[in-house]
Amino acid sequence: MRDAVTSLIRNYDNTGRYLDREALSTLKSYFDGGTGRVKAATVISANAASIVKEAGITLFEQVPELIRPGGNAYTTRRYAACLRDMDYYLRYSSYALVAGSVDVLDERVLQGLRETYNSLGVPIGPTVVGVQIMKDLVKAKVAEAGIEGVDFLDQPFDYITRELSEVSI
């Protein structure tokens, strides 16, 4: 699992180079955003349960057939599995924000996920709608907390969306 710093060092080490101007500017922007990343992750941790709950309610309002008979989130077990998945996306997104890298998402969340979803009939479209709803809730909460300079907030959520959507039909 890599973060912004270890990825960069790995690239430079692979070619035996000292860090150059470009590397330093990448590092500077990562460190400059560091406090904001940590603060944003703290807001997520403090509000995780309510973010997941609210995102679930909004998702099922927007796509009510999910929780009707025949829907993939119908039955208590599958409803709970759906919210649990949303919680996974939120928690790992908070890690990715702190790391300044989506590597943790690739390694721990997205690997093999599409195949699992396809085999269980979990619909990808509504899943990414749920991820985007959580992104908006996180952005609202972070803004409410008065945390600025956090243009990186979209990154993990949009990455999950892109990676999940890509190979699905």
Ligand X SMILES: CCC1=C(C)/C(=C/C2=NC(=C\c3[nH]c(/C=C4\NC(=O)[C@H](C)[C@H]4CC)c(C)c3CCC(=O)O)/C(CCC(=O)O)=C2C)NC1=O
Instruction: Measure Cα distances from 138 to 5, 93, 126 in Å.
Output: 25, 11, 18
CA 111 to chain centre: 14
Region binding ligand X by CB under 6 A among candidate stretches 93-101, 125-133, 143-151, 161-169 = 125-133
CA 137-46-148 angle, to 5 degrees, is 60
Assess contact for 156 and 104: CB atoms under 8 A: no
Of residues 122, 134, 150, 160, which one binds ligand X by CB under 6 A?
A: 122
Query: Which has the closest alpha carbon to 146: 35, 32, 27?
Result: 35
| Residue 137 near ligand X by CB under 6 A | no
Q: How far is the CB of 11 from ligand X (least distance, A)?
A: 27
Integer CA distances (angstroms), 78 to 59, 87, 158, in order: 15, 14, 25
Select the span of 12-20, 71-79, 143-151, 156-164 touching ligand X (CB under 6 A). 71-79
Residue with Cβ nearer ligand X (33 or 126): 126
Question: Binding string, 26-65, against ligand X, x = CB under 6 A?
Answer: ----------------------------------------
Binding residues vs ligand X (CB under 6 A): 66, 72-73, 78, 81-82, 85-86, 88, 108-109, 113, 116, 120, 122-123, 126-127, 130
